[in-house]
Chains A and B, each alone.
Chain A
Amino acid sequence: MDLTSVASALPWIPLLPFLGFLINGCCGTRISRRAAGWIACLGPLGAFLIAYLGLLALAQEQSPRAFLECSLGDWISVGDLVVRAGLRLDRLSVVMALVVTGVGSLIHVYSVGYMSHDKGFTRYFAYLNLFLSMMCILVLADNLVLMFVGWEGVGLCSYLLIGFWYEDPAKASAGKKAFIVNRIGDFGFILGIFLIFVTCGTVDFAELFRWLASAREGLPAGVAFAATMLLFLGATGKSAQIPLYVWLPDAMAGPTPVSALIHAATMVTAGVYMVARLSFLFVLAPTTLLVIAAVGGLTALVAGFYALTQNDIKKVLAYSTISQLGYMFLGAGAAAFGASIFHLFTHAFFKALLFLGAGAVIHALHDEQDLRRMGGLGKKLPLTCAAMVVGSLALAGIPPFAGFFSKDLILLSLLEAAHRTGQPVWYLLWAMGLVGALLTAFYSMRLIAMAFLGAPRGDAEAHEAAEDPPVSMGAPLIALIFCSALVGLFSWPKLFGGFERFIHYLDWVTAQVPAAPGELGHGVEWLNLCASVGMGVAGMAAAYFLYVVAPARPRELVRASPALGRLYELSLNKLYVDEYYDRWIVKPLQAAANYAWEIFDVLIVDGFVNGVAAWVLDLAASARKLQTGVVSYYAISLLLGGIALLGYFVLWV
């Protein structure tokens, strides 16, 4: 099969969902819901097929660095200022594109059932399609500016979809919070782009790569550090890392499939993707890498800690997402970009599965999200329960589910980094990762226990009426169950005689740091494996004991030990970070803004601006007086001007 023409079909990957957006957005009121649903699902499916053809085309290429390219032409070319736009499908972006369109298609199908009774049905799908289109642009962009276009586009769609039920002020303001917090990150991102453009004179990934490879003295270390830190600031905003993670839990105000698609599987991983895409730049700044790993480790730990006590089923998953994104940055920080992307890949499936499962629960209980009012749903919702259990096992890193392989690789990469750099800090990060794994397993099991096991605690009538979702929602769940269980096999560990195919697939498109002399040794690998699985099993067992075997124990424990109670409070209130932000950032900013408005704006700026404006208007009035309307004056002006010109030319020159 001739696949050379796939390159020219690349624009259709973002275009197909965009067409869906146009159709549903423009004539949504005039077509039936059925048609709107079909249109919305066909775009992503088509995009997935093209991406799949791209994968096949790449497989035919000899070189692992091969890529498909489709130039969208020069946008502007004036002098030496040339802005090109193009799409580029290489091994890294094809993985992302497949995840985005694949998981995206499943979630679209699921949404048809989930949103079937909503009055904003077509509006919802228009936004969702637009999101997918923007996400594809972000993924396929061949330069930073186009990537930024997609980056902003997904941010916009995220804002629109979080505030989808905008009649509820809390939900609308959650959207605003997401938008504003992301702006801070975007500010860093765009400064990073400027810095790169000013230094290297290009924003094109390939040219940047060539520039870095060929520049005689290379990138100054300071610039590399500053640029990568700025870019990473952008990543912390989009991927909800410390300190900018606060928007993601609030973002759960949107419809649950949106949380699954945007706030778990795809958009929030854009930061990780960006770091991997620019890995050749990030490896030039080892300090930044350490910062990334530290931020990732801390986020993984802290968010896992928050998730322990949350009672809203979606909040648990939200903090879990933040925590897992922390793992991805841990891997990226350890320069194991392949492992990081692999975790992104597996996480997309099992977290989408968990969210969709949670959505099915919420749907079955008619918008009940509080775990304390659930329980005993396992028998009523067998499919949903199976989905949640598989998702949780994958999340907790229990072999052979997907999460195990990727998390294990990331933890191993930390040990390798410690070995390579000789810095003991990596061992600390490894330990943080392990503790995070323990927390992850604990809250996963807690969620299962509270929702599906034990006795029903909520409304008995609602419990009776609860049933598994219809086919349109069930089918994507089943598909995701299989994926979550199996995609880990793409990277069968070396330890078991595997080849880690996925990781090596990405070898040539992500930067490699030179390996340290000597292997880590199988002993260390086994240690890592056992520790991570042990943590997972221990966490799950503890949660099972505390929430199923002896449900009264948590309360007793808290009562017996005030320190534990305090810890519980801290976790429940998320270390009071939101309050701190409010107290130390939002309030002072408001106060400062008020102050600035009163003193600076009213007195100085207004005074100055009004003064200048008044002065200019005065000038204008005098200028206007020159225009008397008398022709002779006009003629004299002409004459004087002529004399002045003549004088200049004859006497001066």
Chain B
Amino acid sequence: MPDIGSAELRVLLPVLAPLLGALAVLLTDPYLDKGRPKLPLVYIALGSLMAAWAALGFLWGDRVVAWSGALAADRFGLYLGFAIATAAGLTVLSSAGYARKMGVDCGEYYSLLLLATAGMLLLAMANDLLMVFLGIETMSIAVYCLAGITRERPRSVEAAMKYFLLGAFATGFLLYGIALIYGATGEVRLERIAHHAANRPLLLAGLGFLLVGFGFKVGAVPFHMWAPDAYEGAPAAVTGFMAAGVKAAGFAAFLRVLLTAFGGEAAAAAWAPALWMLAALSMIVGTLSALAQTNLKRMLAWSSVAHTGYALVGVVGGGGVAGNGSAAVLFYVLTYSVMTLGPFLVIALLSRAGEEFEQIDDLAGLARRRPVAAAALSLFLLSLAGIPPTAGFMGKLFVFRAAIDSGWLGLGVIGILATLVSVYYYLRPIVLMYMREPRAEFNASEPTDWASHFAIGVAALALLLLGVLPSDAIAASLESVRGLW
């Protein structure tokens, strides 16, 4: 029986805040008028996320391990925890208007968002394999439901179904991997697994299964097939949250497992070539597939696959604790979560009642009608393309540099080539927005959605800040990786 002292509760705070928020949403919703906008739910959600933010900030510091070593509040987890909480907050802000347009302005929506956030934060702090599983499931089940929440739209339901089926399949792999690792070592705690020699087939087989599970969550080729369909079908705000939050949380756990449980030299030498392959495939397939897309959300889905590849480049070139690669991944995922959320916020803003704004061709002439949205979208796309002075450039620079420094020249070259090709599909929407005559009608007549604009503004500002003055964030990422032990 663990002693439930204050340390245990403190560590749990970031997870508890959105969890209690979700319950509060469920308790409040039935008392609200059906026809009116459900602003109290937005306030509760925002409040609980701010509380989570505050809890993360409060825990920022030395490593605290609690719950018999199952949870670790260290900078490593908290670093991406900030990204997760921020992404969730911006999603909620954008949802205030969007959920109403889509007719899903209800308690489930916000409570699922908060539950998913709780799962993500749990995942980011999970320090044993069971907790990893618990976090992944809490996050995933909520996100499956969110993907299908606009149940009037067949594609949304299809997305949820596919995501769920394949997710369950991948979870099976993950669980089997955990079981094998437990079988080989008798341990589920990450740092204890590290004490066992890594060259045993059973342990390595377990690691292989784990990679399948994590690869699925972060959308690495060949475990990525769900991503385009799920991203396209899910409502835009949810897609943005999926792309930013799920990936950030997935990478947090992925990286922590690799660095802590399999961070030894022998183990790293075993998984590096496998991840090399995943990274290269993700970059190539993601970039090539994105080229041919006509749907903005689908294009961004493939782009997110490619970006998983870029982040994996940093994982491969991690160089263990001493190298900068792992820190580069943290920084990369932080910037990526902001810059991938951004376009979806814009899509959510531009969508009309019950109808998603998602065809790339519809962007034609947007700059004329909605200059702010067009400018913000351009900034996000430029950042995704990795063009200075945006954060995307700094992230790519940091990751590729780390890989090349630790001798993975080939991977760096593939990454740079993929980046070059990717410029084509990132710039095309910008060209359309600024140099074509408007084709579609934009909903200029609706009252301005200030919350959404605010969220977009915050994301844009964050990208510029991280791009121009990245020193603090990079320094924090380096500290985070060092603080892992």
Binding site for B on A (CB under 8 A): 74-79, 613, 616-617, 619-621, 623-624, 627, 629, 631, 633-635, 637-638, 640-642, 645-646, 648-650, 653
Residues 236-292 (chain B) with a chain A CB within 8 angstroms = 270, 273-274, 285, 288-292
Residues from chain B with Cβ under 8 Å of A640 in the complex: 222
The listed residue (B166, B204, B401) touching A79 by CB distance below 8 A is: B401
Contact A633 B225 (CB under 8 A): yes
The listed residue (B165, B208, B225, B398) touching A78 by CB distance below 8 A is: B398
Contact A646 B226 (CB under 8 A): no
The listed residue (B166, B289, B405) touching A631 by CB distance below 8 A is: B166
Residues 200-224 (chain B) with a chain A CB within 8 angstroms = 201, 204-205, 207-209, 211-212, 215-216, 222-223
Residues from chain B with Cβ under 8 Å of A648 in the complex: 208, 273-274
Contact B421 A77 (CB under 8 A): no
Nearest residue (CB) in A for B224 is A637
- Contact A78/B401 with A616-B288, A641-B222 known, Cβ cut-off 8 Å: yes
Contact A649 B288 (CB under 8 A): no
- Contact A641/B223 with A79-B401, A649-B208, A650-B204 known, Cβ cut-off 8 Å: yes
Shortest beta-carbon distance from B199 to chain A in Å = 7
Q: Taking the complex as formed, is B228 at the interface, i.e. its CB lies under 8 A from any CB of chain A?
A: yes
Residues from chain B with Cβ under 8 Å of A645 in the complex: 208-209, 211-212, 274
Contact A620 B291 (CB under 8 A): yes
In the docked arrangement, what's the CA distance between A330 and B289, Å?
62
Contact A649 B223 (CB under 8 A): no
Render B163-185 as a binary contact track against A, CB cut-off 8 A, 1 for contact.
00110011001000000000000
Q: Taking the complex as formed, is B101 at the interface, i.e. its CB lies under 8 A from any CB of chain A?
A: no
Can you list 26 A-B pairs, Cβ within 8 angstroms, ordered by A?
A74-B471, A77-B475, A613-B424, A616-B288, A616-B421, A617-B291, A619-B288, A620-B290, A623-B285, A623-B292, A631-B161, A633-B225, A634-B162, A635-B169, A638-B166, A638-B212, A640-B222, A641-B212, A641-B215, A642-B209, A645-B208, A646-B209, A648-B274, A649-B201, A650-B204, A653-B199
Residues from chain B with Cβ under 8 Å of A646 in the complex: 205, 208-209
Q: Could you say which interface size class chain B belongs to?
A: 35 or more
The listed residue (A620, A633, A635) touching B165 by CB distance below 8 A is: A635
Residues from chain B with Cβ under 8 Å of A621 in the complex: 292
Contact B209 A79 (CB under 8 A): no
Residues from chain B with Cβ under 8 Å of A75 in the complex: 469, 471
Contact A638 B288 (CB under 8 A): no
Q: Which of B173, B201, B208, B216 has the most CB of A within 10 A?
A: B208
Contact A638 B216 (CB under 8 A): yes
In the docked arrangement, what's the CA distance between A646 and B213, Å?
12
In the docked arrangement, what's the CA distance between A640 and B221, Å?
11
Q: Taking the complex as formed, is B324 at the interface, i.e. its CB lies under 8 A from any CB of chain A?
A: yes
Contact A620 B201 (CB under 8 A): no
Binding site for A on B (CB under 8 A): 161-162, 165-166, 169-170, 173, 199, 201, 204-205, 207-209, 211-212, 215-216, 222-223, 225-226, 228-229, 270, 273-274, 285, 288-293, 324, 397-398, 401, 405, 421, 424, 469-471, 474-475
Contact A620 B288 (CB under 8 A): yes
Shortest beta-carbon distance from A75 to chain B in Å = 8
Residues from chain B with Cβ under 8 Å of A650 in the complex: 201, 204-205, 208
Shortest beta-carbon distance from B46 to chain A in Å = 34
The listed residue (A78, A627, A642) touching B212 by CB distance below 8 A is: A642
The listed residue (A74, A616, A637, A642) touching B225 by CB distance below 8 A is: A637
The listed residue (A79, A619, A633, A642) touching B324 by CB distance below 8 A is: A79
Shortest beta-carbon distance from B290 to chain A in Å = 8
Nearest residue (CB) in A for B211 is A645
Contact A629 B229 (CB under 8 A): yes
In the docked arrangement, what's the CA distance between A81 and B250, Å?
30
New A-B pairs, 15, CB < 8 Å, besides A76-B470, A78-B398, A631-B166? A76-B471, A77-B471, A77-B474, A78-B324, A78-B397, A616-B291, A623-B292, A627-B228, A631-B165, A635-B166, A635-B169, A638-B169, A641-B215, A650-B204, A650-B208
Residues from chain B with Cβ under 8 Å of A649 in the complex: 201, 204-205, 207-208, 270, 274
In the docked arrangement, what's the CA distance between A77 and B477, Å?
13
Residues from chain B with Cβ under 8 Å of A633 in the complex: 225
Residues from chain A with Cβ under 8 Å of B212 in the complex: 638, 641-642, 645
In the docked arrangement, what's the CA distance between A639 and B442, Å?
44
In the docked arrangement, what's the CA distance between A422 and B292, Å?
72
Contact A620 B215 (CB under 8 A): no
In the docked arrangement, what's the CA distance between A78 and B397, Å?
10
In the docked arrangement, what's the CA distance between A613 and B423, Å?
13
Residues from chain B with Cβ under 8 Å of A631 in the complex: 161-162, 165-166
Shortest beta-carbon distance from B223 to chain A in Å = 5
Residues from chain A with Cβ under 8 Å of B165 in the complex: 631, 635
